[in-house]
Amino acid sequence: MTQAEKYSWASLITTGAIYWFFQMRMLDGWQVVEQSPGQLAGVYIAIVIMTIIAEAFIAGAIAVLNKNGGIEKDERDFAIEAKANQNAAIFLAAAINILIIQVLADAAYPANALPKFMPQLVMNTPGEIFFILFTLLYAAHFVKLISTIILYRK
């Protein structure tokens, strides 16, 4: 297992734990709990700081364990990283376009005019918007990490 693959596995585990903490702060069952803008800012800052600390810790641990002091990358590593970044970008672009279509459809048609197979995505409050957008950012990061792991396994 390469150093980059180890980093991806460790990052996937810590990112999953951080996202779990985030969703525990934001959800009650399947409903977004409405919070004040100050509380949302506090959650945002806490999650960002936790993510920075976790990624720095993982990079530092791998650097200490590696004799050369860091993750050595060759052409294959750079190609895998580029493909994983591309997969994350495609996912994020598709997800944002789905959000745009959903918002336009909600504005253009009454709720009972939309087909029943199309779930209603509620984005009426700052908490709901924050939760959806932050979830998309984390989902794109998950796509990148999982793509990296899969590409190393090929």
5-55 tens-digit pLDDT? 888 999 999 999 999 999 999 998 888 888 999 999 999 999 999 999 999
Look at residue 56 in the predicted model and tell me its pLDDT: 94
Look at residue 115 in the predicted model and tell me its pLDDT: 64
How many CB atoms are closer than 10 A to CB 96? Answer: 13
Look at residue 2 in the predicted model and tell me its pLDDT: 77
Q: Which residue has the higher pLDDT, 70 or 107?
A: 107
Phi and psi at residue 28, to the nearest 5°: -125, 100
From the list 150, 139, 143, 140, the residue with the least C-alpha distance to 5 is 150
CA-based angle 105:111:114, to the nearest 5?
60
| Whole-structure pTM value | 0.85
Instruction: Return the sign of the alpha-carbon dihedral for residues 46, 49, 55, 58.
Output: negative
- CA 139 and chain centroid, separation: 3
Look at residue 137 in the predicted model and tell me its pLDDT: 95
Per-residue CA distances from 113 to 75, 84, 132, 135, 138 (Å): 53, 39, 24, 28, 32
**Model confidence over 100-152: pLDDT tens digits?**
888 887 777 776 666 665 556 677 788 888 999 999 999 999 999 999 999 99
Burial annotation 8-45 (CB, 10 A radius, 16+ → b, else e): bbbbbebbeebbeebeebbeeeeebeebeeeebeebee
Q: Is the pLDDT of residue 66 over 80?
A: no
Q: Average pLDDT in the 82-96 region?
A: 96
